[in-house]
Structure 1
Amino acid sequence: MNEPMLKNDPAAINSAEFFDRSRARLGFDVPPGLVDPNIIPKSGDQGTDRMLEIIAREQPVRPAAVLIPVVDHPQPTVLLTQRAAHLNDHAGQIAFPGGKIDSTDASPLDAALREAEEEVGLNRKFVEPIGYLDLYATGFGFRILPTVARVKPGFRLSINKSEVDDAFEVPLAFLMDPANHQVHSKEFRGMERSYYAMPFAERYIWGATAGILRVLYERICLT
C-alpha cells in the first residue's frame, strides 16, 4: 500500500531523504520516446492519452528538456520561472527553466543546464544533477524530459527578460503535498481530459509544470 513520505506535517519534509530517494530512483538513461513518435508517454488519464496519440500523428515530435531545481535550504524549495508575456508559446505561464533540445546539446541534461543559465543565469557550479524524471508529453507536440537537480544555496540569478519575466521559489513541501494538487478538466475534440493545478499565493501553477510536479510526487514521495 502506497503512503506519502510526508505523513502528518508536509512542512517537515526532509531534504536529505528527498535527495537520497531521488538518487536511488532516478538515472540518466534517455527514453526512446523523447524522439520516437510511435512511443506515446502515458499520462494516467485516458482522455489525455488519447489526445497524445492524435497529436503524435498530426505534429512532429518536439524534444525538450527542463531542470527541476530543488534548492537545498533547511526547508527546500523549487526554483520556477514566469515566462515573458510577449512570447508566442505559453506567455506568462509558470514554468521550469528549460526549452527545446538543440543539435549542439550533448544530452537532455546539457540542454536543461544551458537553458537554466540562459534564462535565469543559474550557474552550473551550484547544480548537482540527480537524474531524469519520467518523459512528459504535451498537446503541443513537446516531449519534455525533466532533470531533477539539487541546487546549492548562494547562487545569484540574472533574469533574461527576453524569455522570463520573473524567477521565484516555492516550498517543496507545498508542491509535494497532494492536498494542494487540484484536478481540473477541459475538452479536446469532444473528449474530456484532466490536468493538475497547484495555485500558490498569486502564482497559478498548472498544465505541464503542475503535471511534472505531480509525477515528481508520485516517483519520489510515495513509498
Structure 2
Amino acid sequence: MMLHQVEERLQNHQPRTIDAQLPEAAVLIPITNASEPELVFTRRAPHMNTHSGEVAFPGGKRDLSDRDLIHTALRESFEEIALPPEAVRIIGQTGSVVSRFGLEVTPIVGIMEADTPLRANMAELDRIFKVPLSYFLDKDNLTFNHWKLRNQDYMMPSFYYGEYLIWGLTAVMLVEFLNITLDADILLNAPHFNSHFPRAKGMFQSCSMDG
C-alpha cells in the first residue's frame, strides 16, 4: 500500500526545476519492494576528497555519454553499489536541488527487488545500509540543524539511524520525497532550492541540533 501511494504521487507530481546553468548530477533514491519497504543509502569512504564519511544516495555527475539523468543515476548506482540497471523500475523524480559544490542534482526514484545483492565500491564507499521507510515517518526520529546563511536562518532536517547521520543535501532530498509521497509534513526551508546557493559556499555556519 505504501509503495502504491509513493508511485501514484510521483506520477502526478510536477518536479521543480532550477534554471541555474550548473553542471548536472543525479542520485537514485532506491526503495526495496519488501513488505516493509526500505531506502538504500551509502556512506562515503573516509579517504574521499569530498563528502568523506557522509551518508548519501548512490549517484554522481552526469557524463557527456549519458542519455539523460535517469541514465546517470542508474550508471552511478551500478558503479557504486553494483545495482544492475535492469533491477530498478523508475517511478518518477522529485525537484532538482543545488549542492554546496555547485551542482544541480536531480533525485530519481526507483523500486528494486528486496533481495538484490549489493556490493560497495570500496574506492568510493565504506558502507551500504538500508533504513525502513516507516522510520522516517516517526517524528521522534527527526531532528533539526539550525543553519545561518547570509543573515537568514534555516531549519535543516536530519535523522540519526544507529551509527549513521543523514543530513545535508541527502536529508533535504529525502524529506522532500517524504513530503510529496507520504504526507510527512516535515518543515523544509532549505537554501538548496536557490540557484545562488553554491555562490554562498563556505559562508554558512551550523548551530546545535534540537529534537
Q: Would the TM-score normalized by the shorter structure come out above 0.5?
A: yes
Q: Which runs of 5+ in 2 are unaligned?
A: 185-211
Letter paired with 1:122? L
Aligned length: 184
* RMSD (Å) for aligned C-alpha atoms: 2.1
Distance 1:194 1:23 in 2: 25
1:98 to 49, 52, 59: 59
Letter paired with 2:107? P
Distance 1:220 1:177 in 2: 15
Shift of 1:23: 4.4
Is residue 173 from structure 1 mapped to residue 160 from structure 2 by the alignment? no
2:36 to 44, 50, 75: 75
Query: Would the aligned equivalents of 1:22 and 1:131 in 2 still touch at CA under 8 Å?
Result: no
Q: Which residue matches 1:17?
A: 4
1:199 to 151, 154, 160: 160
Shift of 1:32: 5.2
1:132 to 93, 103, 106: 93
Is residue 37 from structure 1 mapped to residue 20 from structure 2 by the alignment? yes
The secondary structure found in structure 1 opposite 2:166 is coil
Shift of 1:116: 0.2
Alignment of 1:57-76 (within 5 A): 61-76=22-37
Q: Which residue matches 1:9?
A: none
* Identity level (%): 30
1:186 to 147, 161, 166: 147
Residues 150/26 of structure 1: CA separation in 2 closer, same or farther (3 Å cut): farther
Query: Would the aligned equivalents of 2:11 and 2:91 in 1 still touch at CA under 8 Å?
Result: no
Distance 1:182 1:106 in 2: 38
Shift of 1:149: 0.7
The secondary structure found in structure 1 opposite 2:161 is coil
Distance 2:43 2:154 in 1: 25
The secondary structure found in structure 1 opposite 2:165 is coil
Runs (4+) off by over 4 Å: none
Is residue 221 from structure 1 mapped to residue 171 from structure 2 by the alignment? no
Alignment of 1:100-179 (within 5 A): 100-179=61-140
The secondary structure found in structure 1 opposite 2:177 is helix
Letter paired with 2:171? A
The secondary structure found in structure 1 opposite 2:128 is strand
Greater share of strand: 2
Query: Would the aligned equivalents of 1:72 and 1:150 in 2 still touch at CA under 8 Å?
Result: yes
Moved more, 186-195 or 61-70: 186-195
Query: Would the aligned equivalents of 1:182 and 1:196 in 2 still touch at CA under 8 Å?
Result: yes
The secondary structure found in structure 2 opposite 1:194 is strand
Shift of 1:222: 1.8
The secondary structure found in structure 2 opposite 1:199 is strand
Q: Which runs of 5+ in 1 are unaligned?
A: 1-13, 39-60
Letter paired with 2:174? L
Deviation per CA, 1:159-196: give whole Å up to 9, x if none: 11111111010000012334433221123344433311
Distance 1:93 1:18 in 2: 30
Distance 1:23 1:219 in 2: 8
Alignment of 1:80-91 (within 5 A): 80-91=41-52
Letter paired with 1:105? D
The secondary structure found in structure 1 opposite 2:164 is coil
